[in-house]
Amino acid sequence: MYYSTDIDLKPGELEKVRTAKRRTPDQKEVHKKLNRYYQKADNIIDKLDTAFSFEKFDEMYHEGRDVFNSVYYAFKKYIDDLKAEERTGTAINYDASIKSLEDFKKNLKFTDITPSFLKKYERWMLDNGKSITTVGMYLRALRAIYNKQDIDKKLYPFGYGKYEIPSGENIKKALTLEEIARIYNYEATGTEAMARDYWMFLYLCNGMNVKDFCSLKWNNIDGDILTYQREKTKRTNKKPKNITVSLKPETWAIINKYGIRSVVRENYIFPHYETGITATRKQEVSQQLIKTINKYMKRIARNVGINKNVTTYFARHSFATILKRSGTDIAMISDLLGHSSLGVTENYLDSFENDKIKEQTDVLLSFNKKAQ
């Protein structure tokens, strides 16, 4: 294939540029420019190796940045892959990460990423009002991209003794049974009632997330059992796990109230996704529904005297925590949540136990109360 160099030379002039022992300043400049083109093409061909195609070569050749060292280019390629797999939510997170990193340093290169750089970026984020949770999320994305590159392990900037990505704040997001009862018995109408009912459905259905809720179809239900796979893992390399939900009279009441009855088993249960909806549109619809639920749930919580910022996350965390405190085996909780391992579930539940520890150990001071 022909690639223009934007250099116009007659055959004799080109020969002089190539072979002259003493080049003029102009000839030297042209010679350097041509060599840069040749070197870039050779590097790309070496990188593509057996997977060469002109489509891939063309994309990399016309990229203005150093494709072998550009953090932006590596993010862009991975985001394109995520979109192709319809993992839109993850793609949005990675896009936010690279935008933030590029705001901190334009034309960021992998050689720039050192423990010192990462510490400065963390401080810059915090100074600009971002949370430590956001810092951790963005830098975990950067680490995942970094790990995909063929970079000398001696230069690896992450880990003990180098730079450790901060963990998010352990903010408790679980409600007690008594608080859930207040929400359930709250008198609501209109959109407020819908938000309350949807939240209760998420809670009762194994702490389901909103995207999975919107994706439910009638063929997911068999009798009083609902089985589904998480959208989060359905299109990844991970083997999707079936999550089994026991439908209660309360969940059936919500299905009957809001569901769109259909004899076509492939149709969606709830009226939020339509047949043929794109991955991008799914993301937009589910995010808007999350905002709506959260808006009204915060209002309901205030009205019933719950001093917590109740969101859809509380439904999932409350489901897991209440089961644990009732004595349910962690292996069962892990299976119901659709977690990949018991370790994930144990870490997930760990931050909710401080209140329970305090409550249980108060008995140690019971002698003092008797004395009083």
State the DSSP string of 198-254.
Answer: HHHHHHHTTT--HHHHHH-BGGGEETTEEEEE-HHHHTSSSPPPEEEEE--HHHHHH
3-state helix, strand, coil in the chain (%, to 5): 60, 5, 35
DSSP conformational letter for 169: P
> How many CB atoms neighbour CB 121 within 10 A?
21
At residue 341, the pLDDT reads: 75
Tokens matching residue 112:
């720039």
Residue 113: count of CB within 10 angstroms of its CB: 24
The closest alpha carbon to 101, from 72, 76, 123, 136, belongs to 72
> Do residues 201 and 228 make contact, with C-beta atoms less than 8 angstroms apart?
no
> Rounded to whole angstroms, how far apart are CA atoms 192 and 199?
11
Q: How far apart are CA 55 and CA 62, in angstroms?
A: 11
* Tens digits of residue pLDDT in 257-269: 999 999 899 999 9
Domains and CATH numbers, the chain: 11-61 (no CATH), 71-155 (1.10.150), 177-360 (1.10.443.10)
- Angstrom distance (rounded) from CA 349 to CA 351: 6
C-alpha to C-alpha distance for 211 and 149, rounded to whole angstroms: 32
Strand order in the sheet with 221-222: 221-222, 225-229, 242-246
Cα 372 from Cα 367, distance rounded (Å): 9
Q: Report the chain's terminal Cα–Cα distance, integer Å.
A: 93
Residues of the chain with pLDDT under 70: 62-68, 168-172, 234-239, 347-348, 350-372
pLDDT at 371: 46
Rounded-to-integer distance, Cα 67 and Cα 83, Å: 20
Instruction: Tell how far CA 273 is from the center of its chain.
Output: 21
State the DSSP string of 39-100: HHHHHHHHHHGGG--HHHHHHHHT-SS-TTTBHHHHHHHHHHHHHHTT-HHHHHHHHHHHHH
Using a cut of 0.75, tell me whether the model's pTM lies above it: no
* Cα-based distances in Å from 85 to 72, 228, 235: 20, 19, 6
Query: How many Cβ atoms are within 10 Å of 208's Cβ, its own excluded?
Result: 25
Q: What are phi and psi of 370, to 5 degrees?
A: -65, -40
